Amino acid sequence: MVNKLCMKMEITNHPSKLVKPSKPTPPILRNYTISFIDELAPTNKIPLILYYYAPPYFSPQKPHNKTICDHLEASLSETLCEFYPFAGRYTRYIALVDCSDQGVPYVLANTNVPLSKILGGLGRGFKPDLLNDFLPCEIGETKDGDDPMLSIKVTTFGCGGLAIGMCFSHRIIDVATLCTFINNWVARSKGVYEVKKYSPVFNSTLYFPPKDLPKLYLGPLRPSISAHVFRFNRDAIFAMGKTVGYGGTMSQSPSKVQLVVALLWKAFVRIDQANNGQSKASFIAQPIELRKKLDPQLPTNSFGNFWGLITSQLKPGKGENIGFQGFYKILSDSVKKANTDCSKIAKHGEEGHHVIIDSYLESNRNVVDDDVNFYLFTSLCYFSFYKADFGWGKPVWASQGKYPIQNLVVMMDDQEGGGVEAWVHLNEKCMRELEQDSDIKKYNNTSFSQGKNTNTGIRSKM
């Protein structure tokens, strides 16, 4: 089958500009100190692309892109007054962001193809790296000095549709902060801004003061690795749930995220066994959002990185005789333990801090161990990307791009809301074998569809 995205897609990038806060950042806020979880966070960029159909008032005779892009720029400038670290630059040796309003790179672009051609090419054979052209910069590490904390690119399609591509520095924020920023920007764009609801709360160092800790290491950057999007729709998630006992021996509905992690982990172990005779030790790391897990809970709009790591592991050869339900149980037990441990973090001082720190250090040891297969699964599910209506409608799709990181899986909600898109990054040989795995083929849906959110009965949280 020919991939429809293999067509010649020409993107013309116009000269970028630096968007600065509409009001100067006060001198008292010029130095933003990062927390120890910020120190531990990987320094790569977090990409996000939101795709929109043309506004209902679009007419080819009256191009709208300049008006919309100017409006987005103006509302972005206003939003940066509150999210001022995004307009600054990070300096590692003093572990702070210089918030001198250096600005956010803002790039306008246009392409010759309609959005329908992009969406129509997302089936079998789709290559995620093609989407990186809609991002304002490469998905790599954030460097010191001149590297921005946030960059934005707005691409106009031939049909009048838009793609808003963003790259955020993981050094200072997590996905929850990313969503708070987008919600703030959206509200300002529509003129319905609610101050308290979407204003950032800068409280990270109050709970997690800096300690000069090493970052989470994800291995060397590998631009040549293979990336593939596996789509598990609502029906597939429901079928997985039945396989692990939901509706039978399991009374509590399973998490769709953990179902997908279990399915892929089982396949990874099976591939390793087939290639080596016996599977290596296997180590899984998954971020866990801390704001609502701590006691007391923190505001959802707390700015920064507020996440720990859930770790699960298998000894050599131990995963070969475990079924899907067994993998799910290992993950479920790890989640339960992490939830219990999180309640201790805020109340036990230094001991509580080590609940977070130790899992990062354990992951760093395993990622460099040649006798261990390390996998990072990170979930962007349940966030509000599909609600980001800047004034001309909600996104028809929210996507990632291709990361230069091996053994990485990024999970996102599908368009209908009940399924999961798994953006898997492996070496080319393992990817070919994964695509042929019997369980993956059983549940993977190769078509791209659109629709309203539906309820599967499957839990929406870990």
- Summarised one tens digit per residue, pLDDT across range 177-208 is 999 999 999 999 998 877 678 999 999 999 99
Q: How high is the pLDDT of residue 460?
A: 44
State the total domains in the chain: 2
70, 115: one domain: yes
Q: How far apart are CA 343 and CA 50, in angstroms?
A: 35
Higher pLDDT, 446 or 129: 129
191, 251: one domain: no
- Summarised one tens digit per residue, pLDDT across range 226-281 is 999 999 999 999 999 999 887 655 557 889 999 999 999 999 999 999 999 999 99
Q: How high is the pLDDT of residue 94?
A: 84
254, 177: one domain: no
Specify the pTM.
0.93
Residue 336 covered by a domain: yes
| CATH classification at residue 33 | 3.30.559.10
247, 188: one domain: no
Q: Which residue has the tokens 């963003």?
A: 166
Q: What is the DSSP string of 386-398?
A: GG--SSS---SEE
Residue 115 covered by a domain: yes
Contact status, residue 79 vs residue 181, Cβ threshold 8 Å = yes
25, 157: one domain: yes
Enclosing domain of residue 276: 226-382+403-443
The SS3 call for residue 246 is strand
Contact status, residue 86 vs residue 78, Cβ threshold 8 Å = no
- Summarised one tens digit per residue, pLDDT across range 278-336 is 999 999 999 999 999 998 899 999 999 999 999 999 999 998 889 999 999 999 999 99
Residue 457 covered by a domain: no
- DSSP E strand stretches across 124-191: 150-156, 162-169
Q: How far apart are CA 310 and CA 287, in angstroms?
A: 6
Higher pLDDT, 216 or 141: 216
- Chain centroid to Cα 169, Å, comes to 12
Residue 394 covered by a domain: no
Q: How far apart are CA 238 and CA 39, in angstroms?
A: 39
271, 369: one domain: yes
